[in-house]
Each structure stands twice: as C-alpha cells, then as structure tokens.
Amino acid sequence: MDVRLSGCMMRLAGVALFSMAISGFCAQAAAPETRLEYMSIDEINQRMDSGQLSSVALVRHLLARIERLDKNGPAINAIIELNPEALAIAEAMDRERKGGYTRGPLHGIPVLLKDNIDTSDQMQTSAGSLAMVGQPAAQDAFIVQRLRAAGAVILGKTNLSEWANFRDPAISSGWSGRGGQTKNPHLLSGDPCGSSSGSAAAVAAGFAPLTVGTETSGSISCPASMNGVVGIKPTVGLLSGSGIIPVTHKLDTPGPMARTVRDAALLLNAMVGNDVADPIQKPHNLEAVDFTALLRPNTLIGRRIGYPAKFDRDALALQVDPHFSRALELMQAAGATLIPVELIDPLSEQVEEALQMGIKRDLPRYLATRTGVPAATLDDLLLFNAASAEGHNQDTLIAASKVVFDEQTYNQLWQNIQGENAAAIDQLLATHQLDALVSDVESPAMNVVPLAGYPGVMVPSGIDDEGAPTSVYFFGPRWSDARLLALAYGYEQISHGWRAPAFKP
C-alpha cells in the first residue's frame, strides 16, 4: 500500500496558443512560446488582469484539451469526473474580477481534486470505488471550502488507485473500479504510481494548472516523481484531513501538485486554515505563514544539505541515477554545502498492522457521514466488492476488518512508529547541523519521511534516456515546510528540470 506495502516508489496542444517568452523555468526546452495549458499561475493572472484571458476561456480550453487527450488520443484517463458547474463558477469569478474584486492568486484558477476529497455539489466522492457511487457528500471537505473561498474553480475529480491503494496490494497503481487505469503522460506504458496518479498525470498533461492529491505513505511523492511534477507532502496536520476518505489520521494529508514550486506553494497557501474538526492541530504561529515568502533566487547559498552517501562513494549509484548526481552538482555550484549521510530506515515491524487498525478505526467513521451509497459500513463494502464482477481481490480491506482494534494499542503503535522514524531524520539533522536533506527516489527517505509525519517536496530534475521523468526529494523536520519549499525553489530555478510530456507509447 502506498510506498512501504507496494514498493511502487522503488521501481523505477492546445486549442489556442499564446505567444509569451518562457520565464527561465522551461529555458532548456528552448520553446519560443508558452501554451495556455502550461502557463504558471502568475502568468494566467497577468493575462486575466489585463483582459487578455478570462476564467471561462481558460476552463473551456482545458475542457477541450481533456476531451482530446484524456478521453481520446493517448487516453490518459486521469479525470474520473468533470464538474458540470465549472463554467458557471468561472463566469461568477469573471464577474467579480470585472467588478474590481479578486480574492487572491487562485481567483478563477481551475483546480482538480483527487476523488477521495468531499465536494457537496453534483460530483461523486468515491475513492474510485463503485461502492461509494450514489448521493454526493453532504458538505465540502475543509480544504475545498478554503479553495472555494479563494476563488478557485473546481474543475473536476481525478482518478486514483482505488481506496488510495489500500484495497489489495496486487492491484496496479492508478487503477480504480470506477475510473479504470490512469496512464503516465510521459510514457503511456509506464507506471503512473499511486495513489494520487490521476492528480499527477493531470497536471503533467496540462489538464489543469493545479491539482490536489493525498498521501498516507508515498501517494503524493511517488506520482509526482513518476509523472515529472512538483508534489508537496506537508507535515501531517498542516492541512486539514476533514472530509477526506481516510486510511489513518496519523499519516493522512492532502497536498498540492503543480508544475512549479511557486504554483504549488500558492495552492498550499489557499488550503491552510484552522479546522476545529481536524484531530491534528498545528501551531498557531503557522496560521499566517505565506509559503511563497521565502521563494527567492539564491536560497541555496550557505545551506547545509545532507544527501545519500552512496552518491559520494558508489560509482553504481551515479550510473543508475546520473540526473540526481547532476542535481547535487548544481546545488553545490549554487552555494550549498553538501554533506554525505546515511539515513537508516527503522523498518518498523508493525506498520502494516497499524495501517490496518487505522482503516478499521477511521474508515467506518467516515462512511457514517455518507448516505445514499451502497457502502454504509466496512462490512457493506466487503460484501459489495465480493459481489462485483471486477475480478480484483480486496485482501487489505479484509485484513483491516479482521484486525483486533484497541485505541490505546493503536496510539502506542503509531507513537513508536512515528517516533523512531522521526528520530532517524532528527539525528542526522542534529549531528551534521543540516538545514535539510535531499534524496533520490531509491533511498530510505521514501519510507521514513511519511512514517515520521514529516514534510517532503518532490521536484523534477529532467528526463532519462527512455523518456521517463527524474526527480529530487527535499525533506526535513516537522513544520519545516516553508524552508523546504525555499530550497526546492532555489534548485528549480537553476535546474530547469520540468518537461512537457511527450505522450510516448
């Protein structure tokens, strides 16, 4: 399930063209103009403010692109459902802008949501399961309330690995009974990774400038890496999990996915807020943090950054991932001090049991909030799946239904797991006096960071010889999200690692 249970992380044109010089980010691509579907949030806002573009025109452009590339052509299948109200919302945002009122950087900006995030509109919230299709959710998830207040246009829902990859370990990443199989837009035969596969593939393919994924253990970082986009896995508790179909509140978090660090930070800003219903509360001093404030050039100067020691002494590592080696060279040239470190994965023995207990505890509580769908309980869900004609197993859900749950044991399990994984990171930070750490996608960080509940930012670093994206993972201690984004931004500005997908077979 996610990274630790599936091991997926360890495997490694538009309707209208608008002339605009690339602003450094895609400089290596040497393209003479930026297509509308790949414009940044700042570029879109500049055009909207000048009257050259409207939210309605942008939404129509993206809907046409989705029809052409997601439903036809390469058939990425990243979109599980479109919002029939999207154009009406865009029209309302355009009227506000014409009247001299804008709500902020996301005013009139289309956003796609993973299909495990509640919306109280005409769309389903199903986690990709036919057992959850029926009456829509009664109210918006907290982060959706924040997005609507910020003026975002909820464009639709994205496909995912069913039940966030916690139905059965044998089911392929990016598949759901309701949505089918999502493809990787860079390599159509490649792995889109799970479970936020649709969110990552959609933003990579230019179906929306911003998408929201969720992660328990790897479900933002892995798809971001495999689809070549920026993914932020926030510190657990920074963003509210209320109204999101859960695995365990101990690890679950929504997170932004975008094509640039700044765009992802703008989306993060819009979703942060104090939700009294969220079981994990963040420090009060984070309420007013602007996650774009530290995004400046030269943020790597003088920073001490740990990196996997295998790249310091192992020629094989350099051969396997030359792009990561090149990333280290760029960071050092930009003024960072790089220190080789050994991050030890504690290999917590009871993670699987703790995750199963989380499902047994938290999923029924969520199901109780939904009416008019076939699965009102975990037993209902198991019976529905057993009677379906999909031909897929549900071993993880069955195991969760059978696990013996005790709240005290559950809390102690997670205290131990999170404590030992946090200690593995904290010890390196303290011993080497580090500002942060970076990792390739074949290193223990992919397991340790999410199990610690710590933040991580995945940033594209290029494309390999086969046409698959490569990436760099920045991570650090709890609540260091803003600092990590600054470092990731500094790297992004010198690496120009993002590439538009080629839709190769």
E strands along 229-371, which residues? 230-233, 253-258, 304-308, 337-341
Give the active site residue among 55, 126, 173, 195.
195
Nearest to 119 by CA among 158, 175, 161, 93: 158
Q: Residue 61, CB half-sphere, CA atoms under 13 Å: how many?
A: 23
219 is catalytic: yes
Find, among 29, 31, 1, the residue nearest to 19 by Cα: 31
Burial 352-372, CB ≥16 within 10 A → b, else e: ebbbbbbbbbbbbebbeebee
The CA-to-CA distance between both ends of the chain, in Å, stands at 27
Other beta carbons within 10 Å of 44:
20
Q: Is residue 452 a contact partner of residue 424, using CB atoms and an 8 Å limit?
A: yes
Question: Is 195 an annotated catalytic residue?
Answer: yes
Select from 207, 205, 197, 200 the least CA-distant residue to 174. Answer: 197
Catalytic residue among 161, 176, 219, 242: 219
CA distance 49 to 45: 6
Q: How many helices (H) and strands (E) does the chain have?
A: 18, 15
- Report how far residue 387's alpha carbon sits from residue 479's, in angstroms, rounded to the nearest whole number: 45
- The Cβ of residue 402 has, within 10 Å, a number of other Cβ atoms equal to 9
Q: Is the peptide bond before 176 cis (omega within 30 degrees of 0)?
A: no
Give the active site residue among 114, 183, 233, 360.
114
Residue 443 among the catalytic residues: no
The residues assigned a catalytic role are 114, 195, 219
